[in-house]
Amino acid sequence: MRYGVIILPEYNWPRAQDLWRNAEAMGFDHAWTYDHLQWRWLSDKPWFGAIPTLTAAALATSRIGLGTLVASTRLRDPVVFAKEIMTLDDISGGRTLCGVGSGGPDRDVLRGHELTRRQLVARYGEFVELLDSLLRQEPVIFEGTYYTCHNTLLQPACLQRPRTPLCVAAAGPQGMRLAARFADIWITTGAPNIFDEAPYADSVLLIKDQVTALEQACHEVGRDPASLGRLLVTGPSIGGVLDSVGSFQDAAGTFQAVGITDFVVHWPRPDFPYRGDPSVMEEIASILPTAPGDRENLKAA
C-alpha cells in the first residue's frame, strides 16, 4: 500500500510550502492538489493554480510524488497540458503524477455550450488517448471530434520513461475501459459526484464492485489487472478515516483487502469541508512505513 495526501491550493505559498514539506517529512508517498478555477464551497475564498503550486512544491521537496487530482478536460487543452506536465516532470526530477478526470458539472465551464454526459465521456476518451501519446514523445497525428493534432511532437521527453505515470479517474463502464487501456493508476472517490460523508465501512462493497469491474475491463482489453494501480480518494463521501490513527489504519487495511493499492486522505482543515485535527496526521506519520513505498511501481506501463 502506498499513502498519499491532498493539499487544497488555498494558502499563500509561505504557509502552503510548510504543508508540502510536512507531507514529505511524514513519509507520504505522494501529494496532490485540485485543479479548478474555484471550488464548490470555497468559491469565495483564495484558490491558487494547480500547476504553479506543484512547481513550487517540486522545488520545496526532494522525494515525494506530486500530482493533479485531477486535471479537468473542462479546463485543459491536452497539448498545452502535456507540455506543462513534461516541464513539471523535469523540474521535479521525475516525480510528477498526471491525474486526469472528465470534469463533472461544476463552476469551471469557461466557454461553449454544456455537453451531454455522453459527450463528456467521449471527449474524455479523446483527451486521455491524446495525452498518452503526447507524453510518450510520439509524433502525434490525431483527428477527433473534440481535438486535432497534426504531427505534434513535444520536446524534450518526460524524465520518467516511457512517460509520466497517467492516473485516470473513472467510475462507469466506458471510463473503466479507458483506464484499462491507458492508465498506470485508476482513481476512484467511491460513489461519483457524492459529497455527503458517510462512514468508510459503508463504501467497502462499492469499492470492491468497482475493482471487480476494473479487472473485467482489463481482461476485455487484454491487460493484466495486476499491472494497474488502484487509488482511493477518501473524504468526499468516504468519511471517518481521519478520526484517529486507529481509524486510518483500519480503513487502509479494509480497502487494501478489496484491491486498493494507493490510499489518499485530505490534509485536515479547520472548518468544512475536510474538517479535522492536524495532530492526527502526526500520529499517522508515526505508523507509516519507514521506507516510502516503491515509486517504481508507479512507472508507466
Q: Which helix (H) or strand (E) holds 54?
A: helix 50-60
Residue pair 10/237 in contact by the 8 Å Cβ criterion? no
* Sequence-ordered list of residues with C-beta below 8 angstroms from that of 133, at least 6 positions apart, any chain: 140, 142
Range 92-100 average pLDDT: 98
Q: What share of the chain in percent tops pLDDT 90?
A: 80
- Give CA–CA dist 137/179, Å, rounded: 20
Query: Given this model, what pLDDT does residue 74 score?
Result: 85
pLDDT of residue 227 exceeding 60, the answer is yes
**DSSP class of 295:** G
Residue pair 67/50 in contact by the 8 Å Cβ criterion? no
Provide the pLDDT confidence category of residue 168 given band limits of 50, 70 and 90.
very high
Residue pair 85/158 in contact by the 8 Å Cβ criterion? yes
Range 51-66 average pLDDT: 98
pLDDT of residue 131 exceeding 90, the answer is yes
Q: Which helix (H) or strand (E) holds 57?
A: helix 50-60
* Biggest CA-to-CA distance, the chain: 54
- Give CA–CA dist 218/81, Å, rounded: 27
pLDDT of residue 299 exceeding 90, the answer is no
pLDDT of residue 151 exceeding 90, the answer is no
Residue pair 247/241 in contact by the 8 Å Cβ criterion? yes
Rg (CA), the chain: 18
Query: Is the peptide bond prior to 162 cis by the omega test (within 30 degrees of 0)?
Result: yes
Identify the CA nearest to 298 among candidates 83, 96, 59.
Answer: 96
Tell me the torsion sign for CA atoms 105, 187, 216, 162.
positive
Q: At 197, which amino acid appears? A: E
pLDDT digits (tens, 9 = 90+) for 70-79: 998 888 999 9
pLDDT digits (tens, 9 = 90+) for 265-298: 999 999 999 999 999 999 999 999 865 555 455 5
C-alpha cell at 291: 521506507
CATH fold label, 2-298: TIM Barrel (3.20.20)
Provide the pLDDT confidence category of residue 241 given band limits of 50, 70 and 90.
very high
Strands 148-152 and 140-143: antiparallel
* Sequence-ordered list of residues with C-beta below 8 angstroms from that of 67, at least 6 positions apart, any chain: 30, 31, 32, 54, 96, 97, 98, 99, 167
Query: Given this model, what pLDDT does residue 108 score?
Result: 47
